[in-house]
Structure 1
Amino acid sequence: MTPSFRTLRHIAVASGLLFSLASQHAVAADGEKITIMVGGITKLIYLPARLTEQLGYFKDEGLDVELLSQPAGVDAENELLAGAVQAVVGFYDHTIDLQTKGKDVKAIVVFGQVPGEVEMVSTKAAETVKSMADVKGKTLGVTGLGSSTSFLTQYLAGQHGIQSTQYTMLPVGADASFIAAIKQGRIDAGMTTEPTVSALQKSGDAKVLVDMRSVEGTKAALGGTYPASSLYVQAAWADSHKAQAAKLAHAFVRTMQFIHTHSAEEIAAKMPDDYQKDKPLYVSALKASLPMFTADGKMPADGPETVLKVLSAFNPSVKGKHIELAKTYTNEFTGSK
């Protein structure tokens, strides 16, 4: 074997080894676990998170996804900023609020074209609280201070000229802790979602004051569609993990299509039993929630402007600031630029 041929062979072997190592690294990088923090995983507004897992769509995309839960979206947001998780299932409005704080975060899939939130008034307080115009001096429950429920609560009260200093906002979480706060009289009214809404109605402990589960109800309350539950990530992660971001988006879009082509009963059948201890109640709550979901995961055209309007009305970190809405979301990964 001539020296030149031996050298060429060594180069070929070395190149092949490098290619093999590069391929293995690519597979490893693509196979990295993606941890998603959900702002209350049993809330029906965030149904697509667990449903996507239950349907096996993450695995179909070759993704290793772990779902975690925090009771309030603001806590989930903090986990994302700390780098503890790669994505959050929470409200889109956090991306606008964070931009004012120098954080570049964007929604890459939109689940809810409306908040799915309902302001409930306790039956005890219903005689004196007929609308948000009557909340002066009252205690209003929110999931957490700085959460989307607190943003919306302030906006709805502000529409009636009531400042946030004229009532008390009490963080009471969601689900069982929210129900307990109503039953114990710690809050007069509060903002929550399904299935808590249906549970409170069934028990007779609370009534609907403002309903933002449908497009019609949301337009009446907020003046337009209000994109809410979404999957958001740090922009730098989306830029450096485009393949994973696209696979995540594809898995969720398949779920949105599943939701729009199946009945509440069929969807409920796919969910874990511990999510629906009272199955008829869960199905009923799900039926009331289905109108909130997008069919394709894309941002509604008028959505970002409505959210900015709501936040600008009272949020000091957003009010009067220039917000580049185009940087707060992208339809790139759901198939439309």
Structure 2
Amino acid sequence: MYRASKPLWIAAVALSVACLSSTAWANDKITLMVGGVEKIIYLPAALAEQLGYYRDQNLDVDIQSEPVGVEAEDELLAGAVDGVVGFYDHSVDLQARGKFIESIVLIGQTPGEAILVPTRLAPDIRSPADFKGRALGVTGLGSSTDFLMQYLSIKHGVPVRNITLIPVGAGNTFITAMQQGRIDVGMTTEPTISRLLNSGAAHVLVDMRTPESTREALGGTYPAACLYVQSSWAQQHHDLAQRLTTALVRTLRFIDTHSAVEIADLMPAEYYAGDKAAYIKALRDGKARFTPDGRMPIDGPPTVLAVLSGFSKNLKGKAIDLSRTYTDSFVDAVK
């Protein structure tokens, strides 16, 4: 229940959702796995629920959170979930292994990630060129943070054999690993980034939270957070895929037309990680990462392919058909 002091439009949203929840309505069950539902990069998945947009589409969406993106991918391939809100690059990597998934809604046009270095090591580690012999923290082995860390190491002249990749998850587990010295640097997202910066425990080494800084780090637009499904599922459940797309595109439009404060006020308190002001600032500073309409930028998939080809043995000698890694057809059909 929202306090009376909140803006009237928020109270109206809350009342609408409450009325819907008390009404009997037919619905179709969909299970989504999100690669860390509290991460700001995946905000639309949870915000759509808060706004009642899934219900508007007669969908009963069960959102499950799995902090490691590669494990969410495995759940999708096993048929345990219908879709995943995770990184687009998995669709390219999997095609090289003969498996076909596709992004049907692009949520983020940047990774929304940053590589952090503990303050105590900042004088010694000034760029990825200093990664040699270091322990690098990633969400999980085979995750998108793993992909990006390997690419940036190689790009700056440090072979993968000269680094150690350590899976440390996100949030509190990431922070603990950095504080205890288990990792020398690490890649993570908001609000974890702000928590470490605000405490003075870390500094940003490589920033991929804005379109400009992402192009500088990776050489182009890097589509990241998206809703991806198995290609066969999209074909067999076209109506469900369309309704799910409609809910998420409406959410992206909401993000584009409302302030960070208005958006944050709709989210559960636990998403703030104990600091709502920092959450709002991180959301405000990073709003440009979200696409306003869910469409894939034309220059995005080639950048992802170039990044993965820079280090992945899976892609060596493989012809990747990027047109099969995403579709805008569902987004284009949203009125």
Normalised by the length of structure 1, the TM-score is: 0.90
Q: Which residue of 1 aligns with 2:330?
A: 333
Q: Which residue of 1 aligns with 2:18?
A: none
* Contact 1:268 1:283 (C-alpha < 8 Å) held by counterparts: yes
- Note if 1:185 corresponds to 2:181: yes
Q: Which residue of 1 aligns with 2:10?
A: none
* Contact 1:142 1:171 (C-alpha < 8 Å) held by counterparts: yes
Deviation track 1:63-89 (CA, whole Å, cap 9, x = no partner) reads 110000111100000000010000000
* Aligned-partner Cα distance in 2 for 1:212–1:336: 31
Q: Which residue of 2 aligns with 1:114?
A: 110
* Aligned-partner Cα distance in 2 for 1:169–1:122: 16
Residue 216 of structure 1 is aligned with which of 195, 198, 212? 212
Report the Cα offset of residue 110 of structure 1: 0.3
Q: Which residue of 1 aligns with 2:311?
A: 314
Report the Cα offset of residue 124 of structure 1: 1.4
Report the Cα offset of residue 286 of structure 1: 1.0
* Contact 1:312 1:320 (C-alpha < 8 Å) held by counterparts: no
* Aligned-partner Cα distance in 2 for 1:310–1:188: 23
- Note if 1:305 corresponds to 2:302: yes
Residue 283 of structure 1 is aligned with which of 280, 289, 301? 280
Q: Which residue of 1 aligns with 2:151?
A: 155
Q: Which amino acid aligns with 2:41?
A: I
* Contact 1:74 1:144 (C-alpha < 8 Å) held by counterparts: yes
Kindly report which structure 2 residues correspond to 1:250-269, keeping only aligned pairs within 5 A, or say none. 250-269=246-265
Deviation track 1:2-36 (CA, whole Å, cap 9, x = no partner) reads xxxxxxxxxxxxxxxxxxxxxxxxxxxx9431000
Residue 295 of structure 1 is aligned with which of 262, 277, 292? 292
* Aligned-partner Cα distance in 2 for 1:319–1:289: 34
Report the Cα offset of residue 291 of structure 1: 1.3
Identity, in percent, stands at: 57
Q: Which residue of 1 aligns with 2:75?
A: 79
Look up the SS of the partner of 1:124 in the other structure.
helix
Report the Cα offset of residue 52 of structure 1: 0.6
Residue 201 of structure 1 is aligned with which of 176, 197, 200? 197
Look up the SS of the partner of 2:110 in the other structure.
coil
Deviation track 1:205-255 (CA, whole Å, cap 9, x = no partner) reads 110000001110000001111000000000111001111100000100001
Q: Which amino acid aligns with 1:43?
A: K
Q: Which amino acid aligns with 1:135?
A: F
* Contact 2:28 2:58 (C-alpha < 8 Å) held by counterparts: no
- Note if 1:46 corresponds to 2:23: no
* Aligned-partner Cα distance in 1 for 2:106–2:317: 26
In structure 2, list runs of 5 or more residues that go unmatched. Answer: 1-25
Q: Which residue of 2 aligns with 1:7?
A: none
- Note if 1:136 corresponds to 2:95: no
* Aligned-partner Cα distance in 2 for 1:190–1:71: 15
Structure 1: 4+ residue segments shifted above 6 A? none
- Note if 1:32 corresponds to 2:42: no
Residue 63 of structure 2 is aligned with which of 46, 67, 70? 67
More displaced, 30-39 or 269-278? 30-39
Q: Which amino acid aligns with 1:248?
A: L
- Alpha-carbon RMSD: 1.1
Report the Cα offset of residue 261 of structure 1: 0.5
Report the Cα offset of residue 289 of structure 1: 1.9
In structure 1, list runs of 5 or more residues that go unmatched. Answer: 1-29
